[in-house]
């Protein structure tokens, strides 16, 4: 079984984990779950990141941390379509996608 030979801080600062964890008192905390994660074994960290519980909490945080208004999204969407030369009428064909993946369709 592979083991990390890093401190919690080194582990948190690694590219694989810097987005999901922070270090305090040489302990590694998951930002989304607000729990400590044993950093001695890479597999434990990876299992935590792949857990359903972690993923759902991370999704909730991602949704609430960005305070974007519906108008801002609509403007960005129109701009993206214009830049890609896609007629705006096509946006209706993407409604199913938006409703499923964009916070239950509440933003668009």
> Between residues 17 and 54, which has the closer beta carbon with respect to Zn ion?
54
Please state the closest distance from residue 52 (CB atom) to Zn ion, in A: 11
Please state the closest distance from residue 107 (CB atom) to Zn ion, in A: 24
> Between residues 39 and 54, which has the closer beta carbon with respect to Zn ion?
54
Q: Does 33 bind Zn ion (CB under 5 A)?
A: yes
Please state the closest distance from residue 97 (CB atom) to Zn ion, in A: 27
**Ramachandran class of 3: left when φ > 0, alpha when ψ lies in -120 to 50, beta otherwise:** beta
Residues at the interface with Zn ion (CB under 5 A): 30, 32-33, 54
């Amino acid at each position: 079984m592979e083991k990390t030979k890093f401190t919690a801080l080194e582990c948190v600062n690694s590219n694989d984990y810097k987005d999901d964890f922070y270090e305090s008192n040489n302990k590694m905390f998951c930002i989304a779950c607000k729990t400590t994660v044993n950093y001695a074994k890479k597999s434990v960290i990876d299992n935590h990141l792949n857990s359903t519980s972690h993923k759902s909490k991370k999704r909730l945080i991602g949704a609430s941390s960005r305070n974007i208004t519906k108008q801002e999204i609509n403007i960005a969407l129109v701009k993206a379509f214009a830049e890609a030369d896609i007629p705006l009428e096509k946006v209706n064909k993407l409604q199913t996608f938006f409703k499923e993946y964009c916070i239950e369709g509440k933003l668009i």
